[in-house]
Structure 1
Amino acid sequence: MTEQFDTQKARAAGWFRQLRDDIVAAFEALEASHGAGPMSDDEPGAFEVIETKRTSEDGSDAGGGLMSVMRGGRVFEKVGVNISTVYGTLGERAQMAMAARKGIPGMKDDPRFWASGISLVAHMQNPHCPAVHMNTRMFWTPHAWWFGGGSDLNPCIEYADDTAHFHATQKAHLDPHGADHYPKLKAWADEYFYIPHRNRARGVGGIFMDDLCTGDWQKDFTLTQDIGRAFLPAYVPLVEKRRVQPWDADHKDRQLVHRGLYAEYNLVYDRGTKFGLETGHDANAVLMSLPPLAKWH
């Protein structure tokens, strides 16, 4: 059984790395097509890749990953595409949170964990281009395993046709897994990405799931892969359409105010942010999602 889990964990981590590579290549192509020629390594707008490390409380190696961030691009003002594979033992607070949410028995006696995933957030130069978030992940303990993730669109200036395309593409990737998947995951995203203290959603939604474990690892992994595969065809056409649209100071002001909502949500409510900081992962990687500039009225 241990060998089987090791194989499954390696497959999941390998998939997240491949998805990261595909997205980075697609975003680099967007940057190169929006100006004169390809990016050089030292030109503003090129991805900077930094290896991240997680250290356990006793100072031993506990995994890490890659933080790939582009700043000051022609299309992307700031975009991060991170992957990580971390492991070790969960602290008492993390154990309690996991046990309470997932009903996992025996965690106190054996608090080992392993987690791998990809996390992406893009903040755009042109206010007409929507910001976006995507992540998929696998979590394992000796007592359970599960998948989670999704993607959601965060425009500061909403366009109904962009929202329709984003959702339709995700639905098309989920429908082969059952007609009930898209409406369930859409409703989950609407609930999860809601900002109670503002009485509003963070954006125009998308899909989201957490704690997915049907007992069929391959089935759940395939669904997780298709959530990842939906991202580029759902998002890239929107950027290609909006990146050349004229904008003015009022549009930019609306963008910066909307980014304030994004920052509030990620710092106050986001589970991934809380888990990453609580378990000692690289703080810069965890907080990569924050926008470079934001504004509050």
Structure 2
Amino acid sequence: MFRHCLRAFVRLASTREFQVPVKTTHRFYVKLVGGGTVLYQLSLFGFGGSRKPDIESADTWMAKPITDLKYLQENNHDMKCRVEAMIMRIQAEFCHALEKEEEEEGGKKFLVDKWERDQGGGGITCVLQDGTVFEKAGVNISVVSGILPPSAMQQMRARGKKFEGEKVKFFAAGVSSVIHPKNPHIPTVHFNYRYFEVEAENGEKQWWFGGGTDLTPNFLEEEDVVHFHKELKKACDRHDKKLYPKYKKWCDDYFFVTHRGERRGVGGIFFDDVDEPTADKCFDFVTGCADSVIPSYLPLVQKHKKDLYSYKEREWQLLRRGRYVEFNLIYDRGTKFGLYTPGARFESILMSLPLNARWEYMHKPAPGSKEARLVDVLQNPRDWI
């Protein structure tokens, strides 16, 4: 029955199938594409059946997890273990999908670098550098614990967190990625999904989730931006239709390069301190958002990776990357927290920086140019859907 339905959809679209490369125990997407526009997405996990536990995908992960695999399997009820298994799966799926794009062009594979932190925990940094499609692609996971440093506590208290005492234990786990493609017509994408748990000196525990996905193009292709936002909205709407507009605005406000008076890109979603209605529902929401990265971004890579571009367009790409660097080093809260944390691994934290960037004194795009059109959108965010 399913096969007949799928064939009917394909005939109606009169198009080709697009399959996102995912391992057998993971999501499986089929897209019906017509005239370059995604018309429909079908998930085999959308028919009311329960989603398979992330731990079942362990044979596809990029490396052994930070926590012993047997412990993760035996404690799959513990949110810390569930989050670690989820981010391991997300990292692997995204790396495999990007590697497939590289392999098709005779490119490279990810370097997998597993590291440990003396104060507790560690991470797995996957970097693809100087590839054919991707100039620099990084997909990190970190699972760390210890005592919150004073600078991090100050940041959290400024956001309304209240802790008793000065020795607060913490656990943090997250997946983070920044992709800088070679072709100026492929946008840069960033996503980060994380879980935080703290325990004060009096034994009181608090937890919350945070994260988001955002797009930074060098040239404005409205069709691409609309597709990207539709996929993120779809992920949010499965839980509450009020979430996308709220988190879309939050994203526009957060990724603001104040001294330039412009946003870093064309937005997406961003949220933090999510701790209701329940831990399970928050986990499901964040997992759904993380799962939306591949269908929101990979079609844009495939659409533009063979586009021709000029020297002038490459120079503009490098200038835009300079603005990207400015935001990450001056404003980004995650970068600051990482750098302030004792035992921080600076190579992994600064993975988000591009291989090449450019700063040009008093540069302004010519009025009416496609570069000026992008800057106008960065200064005046739009509602894309």
Which TM-score applies when normalising by structure 1? 0.92
Equivalent in 174, 182, 206 of residue 125 of structure 1:
182
Task: State how far apart, in whole Å, the 1-side matches of 2:258 and 2:265 are.
Answer: 13
Would you say 1:223 and 2:285 are equivalent positions?
Answer: yes
Equivalent residues of 2:76, 2:82 under 8 A apart: no
Would you say 1:283 and 2:340 are equivalent positions?
Answer: no
Q: Residue 91 of structure 2 corresponds to which residue in structure 1?
A: 20
Q: What's the CA shift string for 1:77-100, capped at 9, x where partnerless?
A: 000000010000011221122122
Cα deviation for residue 233 of structure 1 reads 0.1
Equivalent in 92, 107, 112 of residue 169 of structure 2:
112
What is the correspondence of 1:48-197 to structure 2 with a 5 Å cutoff? 48-56=111-119, 62-106=120-164, 108-142=165-199, 143-197=205-259
Secondary structure of the 1:185 match is: helix
Q: Which amino acid in structure 1 is aligned with residue 266 of structure 2?
A: V
What is the correspondence of 1:245-260 to structure 2 with a 5 Å cutoff? 245-260=307-322
Give 5+ residue unaligned stretches, structure 2: 1-73, 200-204, 361-385
Q: Residue 262 of structure 2 corresponds to which residue in structure 1?
A: 200
Q: Residue 359 of structure 2 corresponds to which residue in structure 1?
A: 296
Equivalent residues of 1:136, 1:224 under 8 A apart: yes
Q: Which amino acid in structure 1 is aligned with residue 93 of structure 2?
A: D
Cα deviation for residue 104 of structure 1 reads 2.1
Q: What's the CA shift string for 1:181-207, capped at 9, x where partnerless?
A: 110110010000111000000000000
Secondary structure of the 1:177 match is: coil
Cα deviation for residue 102 of structure 1 reads 3.2
Which TM-score applies when normalising by structure 2? 0.71
Secondary structure of the 1:20 match is: helix
CA distance 1:7–1:121, shift in 2 (3 Å):
same
Q: Residue 234 of structure 1 corresponds to which residue in structure 2?
A: 296
More helix as a share of residues = 1
Task: State how far apart, in whole Å, the 1-side matches of 2:308 and 2:335 are.
Answer: 34
Equivalent residues of 2:75, 2:81 under 8 A apart: no
Give 5+ residue unaligned stretches, structure 1: 40-44, 57-61
Higher relative contact order (CA 8 A, sep 6+): 1
Q: What's the CA shift string for 1:32-82, capped at 9, x where partnerless?
A: 1224xxx6xxxxx221111122233xxxxx111100000111110000000
Give me the identity figure in percent: 41
RMSD between aligned alpha carbons? 1.5
Task: State how far apart, in whole Å, the 1-side matches of 2:95 and 2:192 are.
Answer: 14
Equivalent residues of 2:338, 2:349 under 8 A apart: yes
Count of residue correspondences = 281
Q: Residue 60 of structure 2 corresponds to which residue in structure 1?
A: none
Secondary structure of the 1:246 match is: coil
Q: Which has the larger radius of gyration?
A: 2
